[in-house]
């Protein structure tokens, strides 16, 4: 788990990278940017907020021959060995990005290269190289007093609430190509950022497969279980799925299906859904893997276990004791009112 709140920006270099195919230029700043407290506070939120809100699917540098030939891997290795070289090497990073900016769809923008300290990864402090890019410009208004009137002045700038592209290269697992997190808010040029500039591939470990399979199950519940059954069964399916993962050390798909899917007619639907959508989650050929307990706990927190009704009433299910909902919640249809209802059995009300 990563914690970026205590992270310190030791150095910041800013360059402007144009689109090479449009004969746009590249601009290098001669010196690192001189930070102050106000700008640092804004930039930390701008750079780090997307990573706090994103699933931690770690990547690592790769190369078809050897990771040593990955340009960013070489540059980041030099920076970690000598942090004082961060600004000089930031120009190499800008140049490398410029060389990949050779498609008409790629937008020019500002490139920020930071040397970061006190990044907390799995309760240990590590250094990191942060690479961020702002691309989209937005109109905003400024106002100036002109005698007895206010004049509107239209400016253009970046929206500090939305980072266009970013990568955190963490000084961990160097031999495997470092641990990397990436953000790309503009999907029109994903290959340019991930495949050409960063040259990364996903770390497919038990944490990755546990997260991806549970996310796949969540979408299956929404797209298949809900239309075929109802909201209660959608919630209960995910309830059973999470609990299956929680109580097992290893995942085996046949056992999972037999235990989790109540309606036998949905088993072929699940298999078809996996054949059709599995590649999106990188699980199309995966049916066995060790289960990462932390990934299960993280997924449980994100999965909604609430039935929201159009009468402004919510029914919250218990993910720890799913048998309660099975035994004590019934759904029916009232002919007189022409409305559905939920019947909930209980002995006494609990004190909150």
Query: Largest Cα–Cα distance of the chain, in whole Å?
Result: 78
| 204 contact partners, CB below 8 Å, separation of at least 6 | 282
Q: How far is the C-alpha of 64 from the C-alpha of 66, rounded, in Å?
A: 6
Question: How many separate helices (H) and strands (E) can be counted in the chain?
Answer: 11, 17
Q: pLDDT tens digits for the chain (352 residues)?
A: 899 999 999 999 999 999 998 999 999 999 999 999 999 999 999 999 999 877 677 889 998 888 999 999 999 999 999 999 999 999 999 999 999 998 888 899 999 999 999 999 989 999 999 999 999 899 999 999 988 899 999 999 999 999 999 999 999 999 989 999 998 887 666 678 988 999 998 777 888 899 889 999 999 999 999 888 887 788 888 888 998 999 999 999 999 999 999 888 899 999 999 998 888 788 888 899 999 988 888 888 777 777 788 888 887 776 556 566 667 777 788 888 898 888 888 888 877 6
Q: How far is the C-alpha of 77 from the C-alpha of 82, rounded, in Å?
A: 9
> Positive or negative CA dihedral for 72, 78, 84, 85?
negative
State pLDDT tens for residues 65-96.
Answer: 889 999 999 999 999 999 999 999 999 999 99
The token pair at 300 is: 């449980």
Q: Give the pLDDT score at 334.
A: 85
pTM score: 0.66
Residue 237 · residue 221 · CB < 8 Å = yes
> Where in the chain does DSSP place strands (E)?
2-3, 8-17, 26-27, 59-61, 109-121, 124-134, 138-146, 149-157, 165-170, 179-184, 200-202, 250-252, 288-290, 306-308, 314-316, 329-334, 339-344
State pLDDT tens for residues 27-80.
Answer: 999 999 999 999 999 999 999 999 987 767 788 999 888 899 999 999 999 999
Q: Which residues pair with 156 in a beta bridge?
A: 139
Q: Give the pLDDT score at 312.
A: 86
Q: Give the pLDDT score at 267.
A: 93
Q: What residue ranges do the domains of the chain occupy?
A: 2-202, 206-344
Q: How far is the C-alpha of 253 from the C-alpha of 273, rounded, in Å?
A: 14
Q: How far is the C-alpha of 121 from the C-alpha of 305, rounded, in Å?
A: 30
> Positive or negative CA dihedral for 93, 129, 168, 208?
positive
End-to-end CA distance of the chain: 31
Put residue 147 in one of left, alpha, beta given phi > 0 → left and psi -120 to 50 → alpha: left
């Amino acid at each position: 788990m990563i914690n970026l709140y205590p992270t310190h920006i030791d150095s910041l270099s800013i360059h402007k990278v144009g689109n090479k195919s449009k004969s746009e230029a590249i601009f290098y700043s001669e010196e690192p940017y001189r930070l102050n407290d106000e700008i640092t506070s804004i930039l930390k939120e701008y750079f780090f907020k997307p990573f706090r809100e994103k699933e931690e699917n770690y990547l690592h540098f790769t190369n078809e021959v050897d990771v040593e030939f990955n340009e960013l891997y070489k540059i980041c290795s030099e920076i970690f060995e000598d942090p004082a070289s961060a600004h000089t090497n930031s120009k190499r990073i800008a140049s490398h990005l410029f060389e990949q900016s050779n498609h008409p769809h790629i937008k020019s923008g500002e490139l920020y290269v930071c040397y970061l300290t006190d990044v907390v990864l799995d309760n240990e402090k590590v250094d990191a190289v942060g690479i961020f890019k702002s691309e989209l410009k937005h109109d905003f208004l400024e106002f100036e007093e002109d005698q007895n009137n206010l004049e509107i002045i239209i400016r253009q700038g970046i929206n500090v609430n939305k980072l266009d592209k970013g990568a955190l290269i963490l000084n961990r697992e160097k031999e495997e190509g470092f641990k990397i997190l990436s953000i790309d808010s503009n999907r029109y040029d994903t290959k340019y950022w991930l495949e050409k500039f960063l040259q990364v591939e996903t770390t497919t470990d038990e944490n990755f497969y546990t997260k991806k399979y549970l996310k796949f199950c969540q979408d299956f519940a929404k797209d298949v279980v809900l239309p075929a059954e109802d909201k209660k069964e959608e919630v209960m399916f995910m309830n059973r799925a999470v609990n299956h993962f929680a109580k097992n050390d290893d995942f085996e798909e046949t056992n999972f299906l037999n235990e989790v899917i109540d309606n036998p007619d949905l088993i072929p639907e699940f298999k078809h859904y996996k054949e059709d959508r599995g590649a999106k989650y990188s699980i199309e050929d995966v049916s066995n893997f060790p289960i990462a307990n932390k990934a299960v706990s993280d997924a449980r927190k994100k999965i909604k276990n609430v039935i929201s009704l159009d009468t402004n009433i919510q029914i919250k299910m218990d993910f720890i004791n799913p048998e309660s909902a099975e035994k004590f919640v019934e759904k029916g249809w009232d002919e007189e009112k022409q409305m559905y209802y939920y019947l909930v059995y209980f002995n006494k009300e609990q004190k909150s």
